[in-house]
Amino acid sequence: METHGTNGVSLPCLVLAHPNQEAAARMARAFRRLGWDVYSTRSGPEARRLILMLDADAAILHADLCEESGWLTCDKLTREQPLARVILVSDEGSQRGEEFAVFVGASAHVGSAEGLTPLIEELMGTTASAVG
């Protein structure tokens, strides 16, 4: 879903699902500065609902969401919408986390300890067509 900013330019839509409200607010501000229309939630089922309802361009899911894990949310979403662009964030930045992210259909996996920069790079790299 493309929405329009104050200057009339279409903005790509991002659903951000994170259990920590402070971290989610920091991330949402960063992505809004980069030109995204951001919708936040703490719940896996709500993230899926928003992604489908808004026809979001991308989603960032933390592994530890309310009601169901980000892993399960990603798996359900990518089964319903095989072309969905989902970046999973987890505390486990290991090879095992990478492999599990592939298994559940994520476009990418970022360890939460890596900070915001790799997440921004992943999102901007996987959604370059939505941005420009």
pLDDT, one tens digit per residue, over 70-105 is 999 999 999 988 888 999 998 866 778 888 899 999
pLDDT, one tens digit per residue, over 3-49 is 544 455 688 999 999 999 999 999 999 999 999 999 999 999 999 99
Global pTM value: 0.84
Q: Which runs of E-coded beta strand occur in the chain?
A: 3-4, 10-11, 13-17, 37-41, 58-62, 86-90, 108-111
